[in-house]
A = this chain, B = another copy of it.
Amino acid sequence: MTPQLARASLREIQRPVAVELEGVHDELRRLIAVDFPRIAEVNEHLLRMKGKLFRPTLLLLSHQAVGGGDGRVATLAAVVELIHLATLVHDDSVDHSVRRRGLPTINALFSHQVAVIMGDYLYSRAIIELVGLGDPEPLRILARVTNDMTVGEMRELEAHDKLAFDEADYDALILAKTASLLSGACEVGARGAAAPQRAALARFGLALGRAFQITDDLLDYTQSEAVTGKPSGLDLREHKVTLPLIAALGRMSAAERVVVARLMATADPSPALVAEVVALVDRAGGLAYAKARALEFAAQADAELDALPPSAARDALRDSIAYAVERRS
């Protein structure tokens, strides 16, 4: 079965768990409450930045799709978002990013030091909360996920200036960096279910995460700053090798590869050079290839959902696949 490709809005996807999501907002606020002024100040900024709660949504939908009934699910969903925020804060610091979701990053608004410490603060708060729940299973899943994410971050550091970075490297990177947390969110949500359903939702999250990240990397090539909130062609400008370029390199002429190599050798490549490489990547079929891969993973994710009984939550999980691959930002 191929995924439904009509664009789904996140609001529609969130409808079956709208009430629980309200609880997640409250839980997030409770989790990061602190009596140290500087941390409270950073937290306020983070809450403004927190985005669309996609990972909590997946956790809540997975939980509902296997029958629901766990009173701690809003807390778990908030913890997953907290872990996501912690990694964003460190990622932005590692990447020296200055904007995220249209707001200044923690490293830009406060300092690099504050960003490193705040990431540690948020992550250790998440662990405290998980320990307090008295169930080792979410802790086991999310500890592994956060460790995977650090390996993914390290892999990403190596994806710069390196035309030998191939699709297998890229796939290992996006599995660790992105897919692991989406999968972990689904698995935590489904942890009360029978093993086959739980495993199917974990695999659903992995496939969805790969589709999601490939789409993200595609948007960097195709979307304008006004839509995504970050400059387009940024990955190329920062010499970051992602799937469109990897796919295109194999089909480029020697002369075209020289242009790419020139970009990689230029410390601060001009917009014209970036635009030239974007055009080369497109012409060589790199964007089409990446899009096709995203759709393959979307189809895998879709197939996993057949293991679940029909429900509004399962429909929403299907819609989340379309959201992941058809979104514009």
| Complex CA–CA separation, A121 to B114 (angstroms) | 19
The reply on A328 being an interface residue by CB < 8 A is: no
User: Once the chains bind, are B144 and A116 in contact (CB under 8 Å)?
Assistant: no
The reply on A196 being an interface residue by CB < 8 A is: no
Q: Give 12 A-B contacts (CB < 8 Å), ordered by A residue.
A: A36-B154, A39-B151, A90-B116, A93-B116, A112-B112, A114-B157, A117-B150, A120-B146, A127-B127, A127-B139, A131-B136, A136-B136
B93, B120, B157: the one contacting A153 at CB < 8 Å is B120
Closest to A122 in B: B150
The reply on A147 being an interface residue by CB < 8 A is: yes
Q: A94-B117, A120-B149 are in contact. List 8 more A-B contacts (CB 8 A).
A: A94-B113, A94-B116, A117-B153, A118-B154, A121-B151, A121-B154, A124-B150, A132-B140
| Complex CA–CA separation, A121 to B111 (angstroms) | 22
Interface centre among A36, A117, A134 (most CB of B within 10 A): A117
The reply on A279 being an interface residue by CB < 8 A is: no
| Complex CA–CA separation, A90 to B121 (angstroms) | 12
A18 → chain B closest CB, angstroms: 32
User: Once the chains bind, are B146 and A124 in contact (CB under 8 Å)?
Assistant: yes
Q: What B residues does A93 contact at CB under 8 A?
A: 116
B121, B147, B149: the one contacting A150 at CB < 8 Å is B121
B131, B150, B158: the one contacting A139 at CB < 8 Å is B131
The reply on A227 being an interface residue by CB < 8 A is: no
The reply on A38 being an interface residue by CB < 8 A is: yes
| Complex CA–CA separation, A124 to B150 (angstroms) | 8
| Complex CA–CA separation, A232 to B76 (angstroms) | 47
The reply on A123 being an interface residue by CB < 8 A is: yes
9 A-B pairs with the lowest CB-CB distances in the bound complex, closest first: A124-B147, A121-B150, A127-B143, A124-B146, A94-B113, A120-B150, A128-B143, A117-B153, A131-B140
Interface centre among A118, A120, A140 (most CB of B within 10 A): A120
Q: What B residues does A117 contact at CB under 8 A?
A: 90, 94, 150, 153-154, 157
| Complex CA–CA separation, A155 to B35 (angstroms) | 12
| Complex CA–CA separation, A131 to B146 (angstroms) | 13
User: Once the chains bind, are A121 and B94 in contact (CB under 8 Å)?
Assistant: no
A51 → chain B closest CB, angstroms: 21
A137 → chain B closest CB, angstroms: 9
Q: What B residues does A153 contact at CB under 8 A?
A: 117, 120
User: Once the chains bind, are B154 and A125 in contact (CB under 8 Å)?
Assistant: no
